[in-house]
Amino acid sequence: MSVLIKGGRIVTATDDFVADVYAEGERIVSIGESLEVDADRVIDATGKYVLPGCVDPHTHLDMPWRAKTTVDDFYHGHVAAAFGGTTTHVDFCIQAKGQSFAEALETWHAKREGKALIDSGFHIIVTDLGEDGSRLEELATLPSEHGVSSYKLFMAYNDSLRISDEGLFQVMQVAARTGACVMVHAENGDAIEVLVAEAIAAGHTDPIYHALTRPPEVEGEATNRAIQLAHVAGCPLYVVHVSCEEALEPIRTARRKGWDVWAETCTQYFLVDVSYLERLDGFEAGNYVYTPPPRPKANQEALWEAVRTDDLQVVSTDHCAYTREQKLLGKDDFRAIPNGAPGMENRLELIHHFGVRGGRITLHRMVELLSTNPAKLFGMYPKKGTIAIGSDADLVVFDPEKRHTISAATHHSASDINIYEGTEVVGAPETVLLRGQVLVEGGELVAAPGSGQFVARARFRERLPAAGRAVAA
């Protein structure tokens, strides 16, 4: 099977030119002006952007956690992703307590079976290091034997996923040895427990207390702690879902010093603020309960500035979809609201509309944040993350003028919640290809489950040029 995409404006992290892209089988084999090739399929991209397929490095599909399982499995999540121009994601595989990492990964591989439409990698969520750290050796084998080169640790959620600082540091030492990257959910779990207990004792059970018991300072403190520990251990650190200036500050400081610290924010932190939780009637506010919580509005401009200046390198979604019915579990007690929201389908169009059209970032930077950087940081570049000869033909033909109103009534997630409900955007994906195969065109899904593959990822190899680090002569 071959496909020729004709006359589009090809935009990568570095290039911007009008040309044809020709893919044979799964790979791009030529790029040039007016290519003379016979293709099985020709797609006219005149007046459209041709972008590399987006890579979402932070998703929770089919995730059992606390009382519920996220409603998007690998089929529904992938359909939503494909419509939104995302062709690869890295999902979080949870090690259940007492379980080996291999068993956990087997469980997650089975979730994809017969359902996958787009390509997936896995991060491992480490929850149990065994007696005296007996599982650390197995952890060390994941990059070479399982293609899993990132270890995720939770510094909060004391009831379930949290790991001690001792465990966190031990995992960082393993990562330094194996070339894996350590990812942290950075919030001070103990301080949150105290604030939550105080709120409940005072009879405060509304959704807004989810935000008030997780103030920005607890995120800032844990972010700084993780950064310092990673520096001592000598491993690369990636901070997930940065939501506020308090967390940006230690990241900025560390990066200025040349420390190996990278970080993402998520679409929702640019667009939803804490006033949603304060003002919404009924249980609508429960739909905006995710962690870290929506922050005071001033943080939004700080985050735009941070993605512009490279203090943050990635915009992910933290796609974690629940239904209204599931959210209602917590209608009398914010602690019981399943925290999370869908977002995989809307990331590209929202960042294009509010970031690029809003004059905050360039088109190149958008591609870098949504595709190139996550592919590089998570060991998938240049197979993913760019448009180049030899790269996978993961391509998005994007109509920069198409108007679209976001709604749960028309989105493809299985959730009946869309936190961007009613938002009008200009610019949307038109045709989406994965390894040369069309997934979505003309508003229709045209691929069948099974088209997605598992991506074994390489070790971490991005390093910052450290101030004072010797440069080889």
Positions that interact with Zn ion (CB under 5 A): 185, 318
Is 89 one of the binding residues for ligand URP (CB under 6 A)? Answer: no
Distance of alpha carbon 382 from alpha carbon 375, whole angstroms: 7
Pick what 383 binds: Zn ion, ligand URP, none; C-beta below 5 to 8 Å, kind-dependent. none
Nearest Cα to 404, choosing from 363, 443, 360, 362? 443
Q: Which of 184, 144, 147 is nearest to 167 (CA)?
A: 184
The yes or no reply on residue 318 touching ligand URP (CB under 6 A) is yes
- Residue 339 in contact with ligand URP, rule: CB under 6 A: yes
By CB under 6 A, is residue 327 in contact with ligand URP? no
Decide if 457 contacts 379 (C-beta within 8 A): yes
For ligand URP, the closer CB: 243 or 386: 243
Contacts of residue 410, Cβ cutoff 8 Å, sequence gap at least 6: none
| C-beta neighbour count of 430 within 10 angstroms | 18
Compare residues 149 and 291 and give the one whose CB is closer to ligand URP.
291
Min separation Cβ 160 and Zn ion, Å: 12
Using CB under 6 A, pick the residue from 53, 77, 340, 374 that binds ligand URP: 340
Three-state SS at 99 = coil
SS3 222: helix
- Asked whether position 115 contacts ligand URP by CB under 6 A, the answer is no
Q: Strands (DSSP E) along 178-327, which ranges?
A: 181-185, 237-239, 261-266, 314-316
Identity of the residue, 23 or 272, whose beta carbon is nearer to ligand URP in the bound complex: 272
- Rounded distance between C-alpha atoms, residue 430 and residue 149, angstroms: 33
Per CB under 6 A, does 416 bind ligand URP? no
Q: Which of 209, 270, 288, 290 binds ligand URP (CB under 6 A)?
A: 290
Distance CA 224, CA 230 (A): 10
Cβ 283 to ligand URP, closest distance in Å?
17
Which residue's CB is nearer to ligand URP, number 69 or number 453? 69
Token reading at 11: 């935009």
Cβ-based nearer residue to Zn ion, 240 or 254: 240
User: Could you tell me where the DSSP H helices lie in 98-215?
Assistant: 101-112, 136-146, 165-178, 189-201, 208-212
Cα–Cα nearest to 127, from 148, 156, 89: 156
160-189 residues in contact with ligand URP (CB under 6 A) are 185
* Of 56, 54, 1, 57, the residue nearest 27 (C-alpha): 1
In angstroms, what is the minimal distance from the CB of 171 to ligand URP?
17
Q: Which does 340 bind (CB under 5 to 8 A by kind): ligand URP, Zn ion, none?
A: ligand URP
CB of 7 closer than 8 Å to CB of 45 = yes
According to the binding rule CB under 6 A, does residue 354 interact with ligand URP? no
219 near ligand URP, judged by CB under 6 A: no
- The distance of closest approach from Cβ of residue 403 to ligand URP in the complex, given in angstroms and rounded to an integer, is 30
Structure tokens at 457: 């990822």
Q: Which is nearer to Zn ion, 62 or 318 (CB)?
A: 318
Q: Is 238 in the site for ligand URP (CB under 6 A)?
A: no
Strands (E), 240-282: 261-266
Rounded to a whole number of angstroms, the minimum distance from the CB of residue 328 to ligand URP is 17
CB 290 within 8 A of CB 341: yes
CB of 63 to ligand URP, least distance (A): 8
Q: Residue 397 CB, nearest distance to ligand URP (Å)? A: 31
C-beta atoms surrounding 68 within 10 Å = 17
What distance in Å separates the CA atoms of residue 110 and residue 94, rounded to the nearest whole number? 13
Residue 288 CB, nearest approach to ligand URP (Å)? 10
Q: Which of residues 23-62 bind ligand URP (CB under 6 A)?
A: 60
Q: Which of 87, 170, 178, 291 binds ligand URP (CB under 6 A)?
A: 291
Query: Phi and psi at residue 264, in whole multiples of 5°?
Result: -120, 160
- Is 211:274 a contact under the CB 8 Å cutoff? yes
The site for ligand URP, by CB under 6 A, has a size of 8
Kindly state the smallest distance separating residue 287's Cβ from ligand URP, in Å.
Answer: 12
Q: Which does 339 bind (CB under 5 to 8 A by kind): Zn ion, ligand URP, none?
A: ligand URP
Task: Give the residues lining the site for ligand URP (CB under 6 A).
Answer: 60, 185, 290-291, 318, 320, 339-340
